[in-house]
């Protein structure tokens, strides 16, 4: 993502914290005064306060940054069901595998905003939990022993998320304008659609199993394990089996034209590469994205490191606010890239592609170190232009560039 978009995201985040700091009384009422706010059997207890993210009196953030890692999150399996994309909601079962580090774990706090959490279990037994506007806190009594893997299962409903997961409804006046869903997690908005340690100092493998109406395409991180479609419902199963960070977890659902830009004859055979684009834009997008294999081969040689992931999707979606975003193995682009001139598009492709190494394979531990991610991406954009884009343009046909960018 560009520096400007990232600064805007962090500004929004600091504004939310600032508003909370101005309203301690309102927060205290919401958090502690209402029985409706208490999940399960709990009265608010000291252990909740001791592991909370914010001081209720002052709004001050109690966590050290990067936030303390009480446990090591190893794997997230997220099973989701969308009955109808126009409903703007889904039900989910999230399984988190983790192990305590440093000491036995008596309580952990996860980021979760606006999720209707209906159950939390560990080994089929209910877990005491407390939810407020920002977090979900779990209590373990006796504490979970050091170094032993555990699995918690969280059942919830996500209904009209405020941000993080964006629903574009269909339009009765435009039959081709079909419903879509896309995510955008940077810097800290994925917490609006799944429970997470939503900060880049934690990495884990992820797995999304997405149940949608038949005929819809689904993209997420990693490789496609399976796809079943019985003509009524379809289930897509993606596995990201190399660890990555929460903000790069991605989901896109919709109807797209799919363009295969890889293949045995490409500069990077063996790596599946598909571009998802609105119907009717296939010819332009096939032209503007066609050098992606050349760029991947070039960066592999330049960085002396193979492309890190199992496939590379590039997805052009509606109402995407951030220009383009380097989600692990599945970069998202704004609708404008279905029509954007070649010279502009190729620079952004190179930028997001460089992030697959710098940002995704190697990730900043905290946001003040974001600049190496963006510095490398800017370097990749420039060097690709000098060593790949311009030489290929001269070698192929000058009319390719001159026609679209004059």
Catalog residues that contact Zn ion under the rule CB under 5 A: 1, 374, 377
Q: Which is nearer to Zn ion, 212 or 349 (CB)?
A: 349
Between CA 206 and CA 221 the distance in angstroms is: 8
Angle (CA) 311 313 317, round 5°: 165
CB atoms < 10 A from the CB of 395, how many?
Answer: 8
Backbone angles phi, psi at 252, to 5 degrees: -135, 135
Between CA 111 and CA 219 the distance in angstroms is: 24
Angle (CA) 58 63 68, round 5°: 170
Between CA 250 and CA 62 the distance in angstroms is: 29
Minimal distance in Å, beta carbon 221 to Zn ion?
17
Q: How far is CA 2 from CA 47, 163, 296, 347, in A?
A: 40, 19, 20, 12
Minimal distance in Å, beta carbon 365 to Zn ion?
17
Q: Which is nearer to Zn ion, 1 or 195 (CB)?
A: 1
Minimal distance in Å, beta carbon 326 to Zn ion?
6
Q: Which is nearer to Zn ion, 286 or 302 (CB)?
A: 302
Give me the residue whose beta carbon is nearest to Zn ion. 377
Q: Which is nearer to Zn ion, 117 or 377 (CB)?
A: 377
Give the residue among 33, 23, 68, 73 at the shortest CA–CA distance from 50.
68
Q: Which is nearer to Zn ion, 180 or 250 (CB)?
A: 250
Q: Which two tokens stand for residue 227?
A: 């796809």
Between CA 77 and CA 94 the distance in angstroms is: 6
Give the residue among 288, 281, 290, 299 at the shortest CA–CA distance from 344.
288
Minimal distance in Å, beta carbon 360 to Zn ion?
11
Minimal distance in Å, beta carbon 370 to Zn ion?
9
Q: What 3-state DSSP class applies to 63?
A: coil
Minimal distance in Å, beta carbon 374 to Zn ion?
5
Q: Which is nearer to Zn ion, 108 or 316 (CB)?
A: 316
Minimal distance in Å, beta carbon 112 to Zn ion?
27
Q: Which is nearer to Zn ion, 1 or 401 (CB)?
A: 1
């Amino acid at each position: 993502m560009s520096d400007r978009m990232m600064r805007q995201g962090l500004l929004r985040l600091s504004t939310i914290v600032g508003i909370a700091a101005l309203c301690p009384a309102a927060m205290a009422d919401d958090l502690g005064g209402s029985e409706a706010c208490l999940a399960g059997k709990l009265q608010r207890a000291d252990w909740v306060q001791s592991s909370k993210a914010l001081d209720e009196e002052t709004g001050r953030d109690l966590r050290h940054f990067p936030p303390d890692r009480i446990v090591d999150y190893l794997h997230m399996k997220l099973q989701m069901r969308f009955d109808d994309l126009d409903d703007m909601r889904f039900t989910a079962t999230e399984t988190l595998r983790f192990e305590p580090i440093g000491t036995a774990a008596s309580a952990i706090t996860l980021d979760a905003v606006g999720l209707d959490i209906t159950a939390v279990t560990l080994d089929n037994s209910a877990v005491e939990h407390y939810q407020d506007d920002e977090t979900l806190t779990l209590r373990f009594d006796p504490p979970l022993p050091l170094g032993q893997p555990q699995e918690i299962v969280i059942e919830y409903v996500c209904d009209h998320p405020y941000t993080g997961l964006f629903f574009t409804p269909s339009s009765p006046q435009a039959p081709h304008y079909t419903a879509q869903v896309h995510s955008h997690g940077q810097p800290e908005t994925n917490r609006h659609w799944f429970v997470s340690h939503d900060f880049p100092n934690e990495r884990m493998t992820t797995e999304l199993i997405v149940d949608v109406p038949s005929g819809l395409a689904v993209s997420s991180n990693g490789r496609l394990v399976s796809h079943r479609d019985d003509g009524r419902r379809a289930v897509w199963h993606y596995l990201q089996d190399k660890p990555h960070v929460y903000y790069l977890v991605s989901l896109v659902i919709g109807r797209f034209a799919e363009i295969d830009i890889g293949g045995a004859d490409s500069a990077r055979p063996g790596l599946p590469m598909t571009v998802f684009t609105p119907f009717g834009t296939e010819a332009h997008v096939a032209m503007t994205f066609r050098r992606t294999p050349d760029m991947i081969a070039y960066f592999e040689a330049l960085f002396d490191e193979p492309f890190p992931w199992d496939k590379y999707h590039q997805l052009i979606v509606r109402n995407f606010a951030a220009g383009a975003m380097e989600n692990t193995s599945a970069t998202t682009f704004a609708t404008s890239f279905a029509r954007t001139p070649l010279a502009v598009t190729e620079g952004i492709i190179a930028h997001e592609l460089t992030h697959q190494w710098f940002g995704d394979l190697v990730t900043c531990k905290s946001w003040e170190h974001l600049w190496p991610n963006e510095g490398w991406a800017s370097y990749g954009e420039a060097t690709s232009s000098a060593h790949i884009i311009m030489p290929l343009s001269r070698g192929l046909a000058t009319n390719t560039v001159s026609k679209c960018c004059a």
